[in-house]
Amino acid sequence: MSAKVIYIDLGLKEYKEAWDIQEMYHSKLLAGKDKNDSNAGTLIFCEHPHVYTLGKSGQQNNLLVNNDFLKKINATYYKSNRGGDITYHGPGQLVGYPIFDLEKLKLGVKDYIHLLEHSIIDTLKEYNISATRLEKATGVWLDAGTEKARKICAIGVRVSKAVTMHGFALNINTDLKYFSYINPCGFIDKSVTSIQKELSKEISTQEVKTILKKRIEHIFSLSIQ
């Protein structure tokens, strides 16, 4: 029997509000861990207004602009408790927050991240975009291992008592100039891209959500409701 996961689409949501919602569902899942039900968590999809977030192992100097400039470009900045370094979220980018009980899914953290990457890679195949992993770097990349290597999806997670938080950010119709104000994920020698940039046309975010949700459901052996 497939583990059940509740799906929530928050639409456009401020980063801190979405973080608070994650914390709420994380706490609820922890509180119900001892119950013998098949609920394995919640999958949240959303977009954020322009925001930069720094992971707990990240370096402050990877943010290349000051507070005044952040205000000028209508962006905010938060220090997060997820793994990874600095990243950008904004309109046109699909952010996914799986709050999953890894014990119920019988997954370790590395396997969990691997399956997230797998879900994104399979989704991109639907658009004839060939994506892979990059050794010693989480996320999903195009032309990995070459001078043209560019990231299309960032991943940064937190796991507490075997329950996940935070997740992935897939660039669909993202304004990529916002990445020029940071060293994305701490890299100074690699660029970022989006589905729109790769295909030279705007893509339906709703369509990508539908495909990706189905891929996550299949790859994680879930029943998403």
**Domain residue spans in the chain?**
3-224
Helices (H), 73-222: 102-105, 109-125, 195-199, 205-219
Which CATH superfamily includes the segment(s) 3-224? Bira Bifunctional Protein; Domain 2 (3.30.930.10)
pLDDT at 31: 87
Which of the following is catalytic: 54, 185, 192, 222?
185
- Residue 187 confidence (pLDDT): 59
Give the Cα separation of 75 and 89 in Å (integer).
Answer: 9
For 64, 126, 209, the CA distances from 80, given in Å and listed in that order, are 18, 32, 24
DSSP label of 208: H
pLDDT, residue 38, reads 72
Is 153 in the active site? no
Q: Phi and psi (nearest 5°) for 20?
A: -60, -40
- Taking the C-alpha atoms of residue 163 and residue 176, their distance in angstroms, rounded to an integer, is 32
pLDDT of residue 55: 85
What residues does 41 pair with on adjacent strands? 5, 100
CA separation for the pair 63, 182 (Å, rounded) = 5
Pairing verdict, β 51-54 and 3-12: unpaired
Please choose, from the candidates 13, 17, 32, the residue with its C-alpha nearest in 3D space to the C-alpha of residue 4: 32
**Residue 8: HSE in the Cβ half-sphere, 13 Å Cα cutoff:** 15
Per-residue pLDDT of the chain (225 residues; tens, 9 = 90+): 689 999 999 999 999 999 999 999 999 999 887 666 678 999 999 999 999 998 887 888 888 888 899 999 999 999 988 878 888 999 999 999 999 999 999 999 999 999 999 999 999 999 999 999 988 788 999 998 888 999 999 999 999 999 999 999 999 999 999 999 987 655 555 789 999 999 999 999 999 999 999 999 999 999 999
Quick check: helix, strand or coil at residue 43?
strand
